[in-house]
Structure 1
Amino acid sequence: MGEAVLGAFLPVLLEKLADQEITVYFGRLKGVDKKVLEKWTRTLTAIEAVLSDAEEKQLTQRAVKQWLDDLRDLAYDVQDVLDIFDTKMLKRRIEKKQGSKSKLWSSLSISKVKSNFGLNSAIKKISDRLEEISTREKQFGLKKLGVSKKPWKMPPTTYQLDGPVIGRDEAKAKIIHDLLSKQENYHVVGIVGTGGLGKTTLAKHVFNDAATGQFSPKGWVSVSDDFDIVRVAAAVLESVTSAPVQVKELNSILEKISKELAGKKFLIVLDDVWRTCSYGQWTTLQASFRVGAAGSKIIVTTRDAKVAKMMGDSSPYNLKPMSEDDCWELFQQHALLNNRPEHVEFLKEKIVEKCNGLPLAARTLGGLLRCKEVDEWEDILDHKMWTLSDSDQNKEDDILPALKLSYHYLPPTLKRCFSYCAILPNDYEFEEMQLILWWMAEGLIPQQPKERKQMEDLGRDYFHELVSRSLFQKSRNGKSLYIMHDLVTDLARWAAGSSCCRLEDMQNYDSHQCTCLPKIRHSSYILGMYDGVKKFEVYSEATSLRTFLPLGSLSIHYLAHKVTSYLLTKLHYLRLLSLNGYRITELPDTIGELKHLRYLDLSYTLIESLPDSTTTLYNLQTLILKWCGRLKALPTSMRNLVNLRHLNNSVHGHWKKCLLSLVN
């Protein structure tokens, strides 16, 4: 879905190409066509006019989709080159304010011939690729539909998405009856159903019902598709103790679980268990549950009845699709029909047919149509995306049509922000501000004129709109945390294409897929206990990587010194770098070479100081040093970080708005 990036990306590039200061810089480069920026602008403007038509045609024409993917990759490279000039100009302004006598064009002087040669070569390659892409575009007969200049406005929103469960009273009563009636040592209660049926929602309502108040302790663990027994056991321990797990050996964790549960009537939910859970792993884990008091229960939600039976429930509850009336009620709740004077009952039959009994489809379709005028509803309900087969899309996916339509009708800026979430693992819980700062670092939130909204406020608008469309939803574990349904995560990965990829998936690439590595811009991975150089070998091929993001729990993790001293500094285009949770003691001086860096997270590390070169990261917006207990002081030239907006160096996680003086 290349248009997801390009619809909002190209206007930003075109604005940057019109910058007179950058034009002068390009003119100073020897060996570069003086009119190269004019040619780039002319070609990209013509391409921008056909993007809307290309977006429609890519659904059925593989060649158009490939063209959009190649154009997106080229747009990233254009931005990287322009950022180099931006940073050089910023450096010059800082030096000038500090009284430096360096010449305006010193960064492009003859002493920099080698560097400039590489830049000249990159500009030449971009020009050649842009010409080739323009030639291919003419073969598709794309229509110049133009670009809508009508600004997107936030529609009325509601965040009351966790209201009373609709249409599941019978199922809820049956599950609670099973929890309270059987009094053996401990018992497994399974909830089975396909994706999007509402298994997790039903389990949430059961878990929080007053009738389950007799259980103590209560714990909730999102298992997902990676049943790592150490991770799952640690999550169980954390959920019943509400404290981080510091031990790292499985036996020690299991012993602590047994100690916490011994003689107690507990209730633990293991949510979203996949086939990756083997009988041997389950046997090892369940030994810790046998010490509980009679009547203890474990709820398991899964898409596979065999998993529930393997875990001990011989007759799990099979969750059925919702009735048409219940689907309609849920749809109305999310479409805010009570706030609409128009009569839409005549569309009820068509809407519930599209929902197909799936609560997730009803919620997302309601969130989509809520944002549209009623006279647009029929066009959306008749869109060809409802009937496209996998072969039509040239894509092996199983994304709900309602989800695809919800994405399809997002404003371009929201498409970029949502598709970036493809880097998140299944069931990953995230904070609102955390994601907004990532978006800012990646340039997904446009800079606003001074009299308009701050980027952070605009990011909140984007975030809340994605919540209201049910693409993000509140996590069960806390009001401040959010999560994406597995099928929504699949949607984000479908939308992002090759630009976002998790390290674990990259390591499984075959020889054909490896050709995509240079196109990957954003990547995350699950923290390991000992992460050595070998784990990151594949990143040596992803030379344009912008996001290096480890994700995981707050237990103990170690990172090989060579990763920070050698590998990371080879990823010259990094904008977001996190080493959160690693027990590293220092950063290399070469960190200052990451001139594109906007976000640096060193939380929970053992560093004692930051190298002075950190103060040359002029583009840095966010610096997080939370719980860095050994950090003694910050570098003296922090005032050079003129773009720094957020500095968090507390032990309580409170954000501080940076008050550093700015260079105008």
Structure 2
Amino acid sequence: MGGIGKTTLAQFVYNDEEVKSSFEPRAWTCVSEDFDAIRVTKAILKSLSHGSNDDNDLNLLQIKLSEALKGKKFLVILDDLWNENYNDWRILLAPFKAGAPGSVVIITTRNRGVSNITGTTQAYQLDLLSNDAAVSIFTQHAFGVEDFSSHAHLKDIGLEIVRKCKGLPLAVKTLGGLLRSEKNRDKWEEVLKSEIWDIPEKKSGIVPALMLSYYHLPSHLKRCFAYCSILPKDYEFEKKHVVLLWMAEGLIQQGKEEKEMEILGEEYFLDLLARSFFQQSNNNKSRFVMHDLINDLAKSVAGNTCFRMEDRVEGSKQGSIFKKARHMSYLGSYCDGFKKFEAFSELTCLRTFLPLMLPFPGDCHLTSYVSRELLPKLRCLRVLSLKGYFITKISNSIGDIMHLRYLDLSRTCITSLPESTTTLYNLQTLLLEQCLQLKKLPSTFGNLVNLRHLNILGTISLKAMPPHIGKLTCLRTLSDFIVGKDCCSGLKELGSLSHLRGTLCISKLENVIEPEDARGMNLSGKPNLDGLSLGWSEDIDDSKDRTSEKEFLNLLQPHKVLKELTIRCYGGTDFPTWLNCPSLPNLVFLTIENCKKCTSLPPLGKLPSLRVLSIAGMASMKSMGPEVCGDGSSQPFRSLETLNFKNMVEWENWSPCEAFSNLRELSIKNCPKLSGNIPNHLPSLENVEIDGCCRNLVVSVASFPDRCKIKFGGSEGVVCGRSEVDFSSLNLMHLSTISEFESQMKVLITMGGLANVQKLMVYGLKELTHLWSNAVGSFPHLPSLRYLQVSDCPKLVSLVAKGQLPPTLKELRIRDCKNIQILVEEDDTANSCGNSGDNTRSHDLQDLSISDCPSLKSLISSGELPTTLQTLEIDSCPELESIAKELHHNSLLKSLSIFECRNLKSLPTGIHSLSHLSDIQIWNCPSLDFLPDGELLPANLTRLRVDSCEKMQAVVNRSIHTCTSLQVLRMTKCPRALVCFPEEGFPTNLTSLSIYDSSIAQGLFEWGLHRIASLRVLRICDGTSHLVSFQEMNLPTSLTDLHIFDFPNLEYLSPEGFRNLTSLEYLCISNCEKLASLPKKGLPPSLRKLDIRDCKKLTSFPTNCLPPSLLVLRIEGCPDLGEWCKKERGREGSTIARIPKVFLASTT
């Protein structure tokens, strides 16, 4: 059941402080009805703060997710899961297995069957609210209290309304919000007696209480809410964005009170939020979402006027698109082609054209049909967005859309706007954010007298503002003002823009000629500005006289309400006098960057609201003392939580006033001359990072609070106090290029100094030969270590001399240690595997990764790997001779990867017995013969990739047919491994097959690949075949990707065989020198990407060869074909002209 509180309960768990401290990392993602493993995996990665991911390869995404979760105790919440397909669930769940024990995945679902499919513990079935609980929630939303005691006259009606909600929390909450501002008994009775209660939910599909909540909304809120039906389910939206859309559509009407539209729109939004039509996003508190049931309600009340195209209706004809539609949105994709829009040519009354959620903003491609043929017909548009598309030019015809009020071209590749843009006199919002190639705005830009919002943030190629910007007196938002030269708008133009609000960034201030121009700006008369950035260019000649900048900056005093200030590349020697408490009592964020001639800081400690202070690039400052705190100031820096110093190359001395009682984060980077002490009394400190600092800097680590996270790196040396310094409270530590630690390492371990450290990273210790030896014993003082990384330690011979690895260690990574010969040199009593019955030591090592260790010859002296090992990866260890004696006891091993190990001759015995081993990858191991004599591949292997292993024996012929679980097989440049085609054929569960060898290609054709009904990807490379055509080739209809490489005698393709591949989406043909034509009957109608390279005899495509579904065409190394395509691309209406992404290159 929807609206019963599943998501709300999960949010309480997710945001609980105890849960936060118990799970790291945490991720939340909404799955929804349209299950897509790629989309969900991307969303989880994004929630884990791993940024956006451009990959659409599920395997690569899952590898990234597995790496992000490996060895960590994580919490992942999958909200609103509907899919009951067990295989989909198994695929999605695969990366989670890399996590530490105790990790949790929480699922919310309306479908009881989902819990059975997922194989979880017993599902928790949420009940409807009890009457008392429902009443409490209702009164909380209606009156702000927990009962009717303060509104007794409404109690009887209220109890009846609650009863009609039938215990559904969303209904109770929404109706409570509806009546929040109504204390009139008649209004409550109207709600109670409404006929809407009697409409069966099955008939309307909407919960009556929710429909009733909408019915009693004020008319202006009804219109705004209905418009929001164009927003997809689970879409996270910003308040400002929605308000600007409402404004553009004329849904916000100014009344007699003459409030600004933006303020009215914000009030509308907050009213809908208070009534529970919107709710705050769990992932981002600045964004909002609509509950699925509320979204259904919006769609219901909007009727046919609003339409969400969404990807699944691609190719629909006019009959499925409402002719009455006025507002249209769709989910953008990497390439949006002609078929997606062909049915819209008759919707000439469309007012909203809004793509949303493009996967790769700035690198998504749109068919030219939209700009050349469709948009000129949509003369009624009020809202037009082409945000995120790879568009280099806007047609001059855009000026014909005279009613346009909202134009978003952000993250496009345009270099200029056509002059006709300035005839859009009704335009209110123009968004050009991150248009990196935009060089100029139209010279008549001042004609846009109704423009209220101009965002040019990140337009790094824009050199100046156009003339007469001061005429735009309606402007509320101006993200940037670039001071130009000659006839461009000067600073005085800002004086007339009295309504500016938000943040204003003024750059290229070196172009100011008269300092007095600052007075004309009237910054102190702009009380709605809460953010200000003042910047000069970085490349100004140091010999230039910049003394006038001090006078100029003094005249730039902002209003005292300012909350955020940035000063960059200022050339004066002193900061302005207004940078103190009386002038800026509300300042919260302050950044001073690359002010190279300033020798000191102003008394910033007097700023009572300052929370974040960042100082960087003050190249002339040598000392910072109590004057920064403000002499005689009581409680200096009383609000400061974050303090950052960076690139202070001459800074030598810091005499801090011990006044940072609330400081939580301290970062000092690249301050090579800084010595002395950093502040000792930091009771609230949570994170500290020291990087690139001097040997004489004293960091009193012993004074840091419990659980403070510390990172030391990139320094010649840092003195951490006494040798017996206590690190016992730490749970994270990074040590790098710090010579003091090389002498203290043994002391730190033996004295229990690292007792709570869970993650230890050691790099750049130039003299280190061993991390520890048998003197440390059995590691009683490293009881918590889970992760160890050692890199760039050139003299390291082994990790352990006569001893063992810490028993709690789960993940070990060794990188770039040129002299290491063995990881662990055990003593006579040690046993790294713990195989012997009298060995009491346990080991938990699960992941071992070694790379770029050219002297490494073996891993562990006993020749036995830990029995707990799950992943083993070895890369670029050319002297490695042995991995282990045998693997019979490594039954938990799941993945084995060996790259660039030229001396390795054989893998250990026992591989065939490893029931969990699912992934084997071996590249460029020319001496390796792979399996010992008589051994077969493990039965549960799902992926096998072997490249460039010249001596490898005929493994495919001997045992490939026994791997019934094998899904991915790639064999490249292994002439002995593929002596002939295996008689039994390949496993029929293969989904991807890549064969780059002529000795087996003919066998593939004779055997008939149609037997592999699950095959989706086929890559074949021949090199010597006499095959002339694929006419007799029987390919499985399940294929989605087909790659044909190096068939020197191939002349033509089968006209029928390819048309039968109804699932084929990607076709790549490369280096087929004699290929002269493609099928005249056309390529498969499902084809989305066609890639042709080095087929020089191809000169053109036959008529109707290219299907309308084609989204990407790449032609490379085909000169004649490339020229033909170039001509066709310029012909309006041609198939190639309508392909969103076309790449033409004459040579490779």
Give the alignment's TM-score, normalised by structure 2.
Answer: 0.39
Question: What residue in structure 2 maps to residue 216 of structure 1?
Answer: 24
Spell out, residue by residue over 1:433-480, the C-alpha distance to the aligned partner (whole angstroms, 9 max, x if none).
11000000111111456x610111111111111111111111112221
1:343 corresponds to 2:153: yes
Alpha-carbon separation, structure 2, partners of 1:465 and 1:222: 25
Deviation at 1:631, TM superposition (A): 1.4
Where does residue 35 of structure 2 map in the other structure? 227
Equivalences for residues 91-170 of structure 1 within 5 A: none
Q: Does 1:377 find its partner at 2:188?
A: yes
Which residue is equivalent to 2:234? 427
Change in Cα spacing, 1:472 to 1:638, as seen in structure 2 (3 Å) is same
Tell me, yes or no, if the aligned pair for 1:225 and 1:426 is still in contact at 8 Å.
Answer: no
Within 2, Cα distance between the matches of 1:560 and 1:510?
Answer: 17
> C-alpha displacement at 1:543, in angstroms?
2.1
Decide which of 656, 659, 664 is 2:478's aligned counterpart.
656
- The range that moved more, 345-354 or 612-621, is 345-354
Matched residue, 1:163:
none
Give CA deviations for 1:100-129 in whole Å, capped at 9, x if unaligned.
xxxxxxxxxxxxxxxxxxxxxxxxxxxxxx
- Cα distance in 2 for partners of 1:617, 1:533 equals 28
Deviation at 1:292, TM superposition (A): 1.1
Shift, 1:657, TM fit: 7.7
Whether the 8 Å contact between 2:436 and 2:459 is mirrored in structure 1 is: no
Question: In the TM superposition, what is the alpha-carbon distance from 1:574 to its structure 2 partner?
Answer: 1.1
Equivalent-residue separation in structure 2 for 1:366 and 1:223 (angstroms)? 29
What is the one-letter code of the residue matched to 1:552?
M
Specify which structure has the higher proportion of helix: 1
* Inter-CA distance 568–280: structure 2 relative to 1 (3 Å threshold): farther
Whole-angstrom CA distance in 1 between matches of 2:311 and 2:441: 37
Aligned to 1:502: 308
Task: Report the 3-state secondary structure (helix = DSSP H, G, I; strand = E; otherwise coil) of the residue aligned with 1:501.
Answer: strand
Question: SS in structure 2 opposite 1:461?
Answer: helix
Among 350, 357, 371, the residue aligned to 1:545 = 350
1:243 alignment counterpart: 51
1:626 Cα deviation (Å)? 1.2
Inter-partner Cα distance in structure 1 for 2:239 and 2:248: 15
Displacement of 1:505: 8.6
2:283 aligned to 472, 477, 489, which one?
A: 477
User: How big is the shift at 1:211?
Assistant: 2.6
Give the CA deviation at 1:645: 0.5
1:514-663 superposed matches below 5 A: 514=319, 517-555=322-360, 556-651=363-458, 655-656=477-478
Q: Determine if contact 2:80/2:108 at 8 Å carries over to the other structure.
A: yes
Q: 3-state SS of the aligned residue for 1:494?
A: helix
> How far has the Cα of 1:239 moved from its partner?
0.7
CA contact (8 A) 1:448 1:455 kept: no
Q: Which secondary structure state, in structure 2, belongs to the residue aligned with residue 482 of structure 1?
A: strand
Question: Partner letter of residue 382 of structure 1?
Answer: K
Query: Is contact 2:249–2:383 with CA below 8 Å preserved after alignment?
Result: yes
Deviation at 1:372, TM superposition (A): 2.0
Q: Which residue matches 2:200?
A: 389
Describe the shift of the 1:234–1:560 C-alpha distance in structure 2 as closer, same or farther (beyond 3 A): same
Structure 2 stretches of 5 or more lacking a match?
461-475, 481-492, 498-1148
Relative distance call for 1:364 and 1:243 in structure 2 (3 A) is: same
1:398 maps onto 2:205 in alignment? yes
Q: Give CA deviations for 1:413-433 in whole Å, capped at 9, x if unaligned.
A: 111000001111111111111
State the alpha-carbon separation in 1 of the partners of residues 370 and 105 from structure 2: 41
| Secondary structure of the structure 1 residue equivalent to 2:243 | helix
The aligned residue for residue 367 of structure 1 is: 177
Distance 1:611 1:359, change over 3 A: same
Q: 1:580, 1:602 within 8 Å by CA — same for their partners in 2?
A: yes
- Give the partner amino acid of 2:215: H
Given the alignment, which residue of 151, 166, 172 partners 1:356?
Answer: 166
Q: Is the 8 A contact 1:439 1:445 kept in 2?
A: yes
Deviation of 1:553 after TM superposition, in Å, equals 4.8
For residues 148-297 of structure 1, the aligned pairs below 5 Å read 194-213=1-20, 214-275=22-83, 278-297=85-104
1:600/1:623 contact within 8 Å kept = yes
Equivalent residues in 2 for 1:54-73 (5 A)? none
In the other structure, the counterpart of 1:463 is: 269
Residues 258-315 of structure 1 deviation map (CA, whole Å, 9 limit, x = unaligned): 111111111111111123x633332222211111111111111110011222223252
Structure 1 position 250, deviation (Å): 2.3
Give percent identity, aligned residues only: 49
Note the alpha carbon deviations across 1:60-86, whole angstroms, 9 max, x for none: xxxxxxxxxxxxxxxxxxxxxxxxxxx
Highest CA radius of gyration, 1 or 2?
2
Match in the other structure for 2:532 = none
TM-score, normalization by structure 1: 0.66
Rounded to whole Å, the distance in 2 between the matches of 1:329 and 1:523 is: 40
- For 2:393 and 2:333, the matched residues in 1 are separated by 19
What is the DSSP-based 3-state SS (H/G/I as helix, E as strand, rest coil) of the residue aligned with 2:28?
strand
Q: Compared with structure 1, are the counterparts of its residues 569 and 507 closer, same or farther at alpha carbon in structure 2 (3 Å cutoff)?
A: same
How many residues align? The count is 462
Question: CA offsets, 1:330-362, max 9 Å, x none?
Answer: 001100164954433323531221121111011
Counterpart CA distance in 2 for 1:509 and 1:470 is 36
**Letter of the aligned partner of 1:258 in structure 2?**
S
Paired amino acid for 2:23: F
Task: State the Cα RMSD in Å.
Answer: 2.6
- Decide which structure has greater strand share: 2
| Aligned ranges 1:78-93 → 2 under 5 Å | none
* TM-superposed deviation, 1:482: 0.9
Is contact 2:453-2:478 (8 Å) kept?
yes
Runs of 4+ in 1 over 4 A off after TM superposition: 337-342, 508-511, 652-655, 657-662
Distance 2:369 2:39 in 1: 26
The AA in structure 1 aligned to 2:478 is K
Does the 8 A contact of 2:311 with 2:331 survive in 1? no
User: Deviation digits for residues 180-232 of structure 1, max 9, x if unmatched?
Assistant: xxxxxxxxxxxxxx101011000000011123121111111111222122211
Matched, 1:452 2:262: no
Provide the C-alpha distance between the structure 2 equivalents of 1:343 and 1:652, rounded to a whole number of angstroms.
60
Q: Structure 2 CA distance, aligned partners of 1:466 and 1:235?
A: 27
Instruction: Name the aligned partner's letter for residue 196 of structure 1.
Output: G
**Aligned to 2:117, which of 285, 303, 310?**
310
Secondary structure, aligned partner of 2:322: helix
Question: Structure 1 residues 403, 527: CA separation in 2 closer, same or farther (over 3 Å shift)?
Answer: same
CA displacement 1:538-585 (0-9 Å, x = unmatched): 212322111111111552422122322221222111110111122222
Equivalent AA in structure 1 for residue 74 of structure 2: F
* Greater RCO, CA 8 A, separation 6+: 1
Q: Partners of 2:428 and 2:82 in 1: how far apart?
A: 39
C-alpha contact (below 8 Å) 1:423/1:502 kept by paired residues: yes
Q: Distance in 2 between matches of 1:316 and 1:328?
A: 27
User: 1:507–1:538: 8 Å Cα contact kept in structure 2?
Assistant: no
Cα 1:541–1:642 change in 2 (3 A) is same
Gap change, CA 1:549 and 1:310, over 3 Å in 2: same
Equivalent AA in structure 2 for residue 473 of structure 1: Q
The letter for the 2-side match of 1:530 is C
Indicate the SS of the match to 1:457.
helix
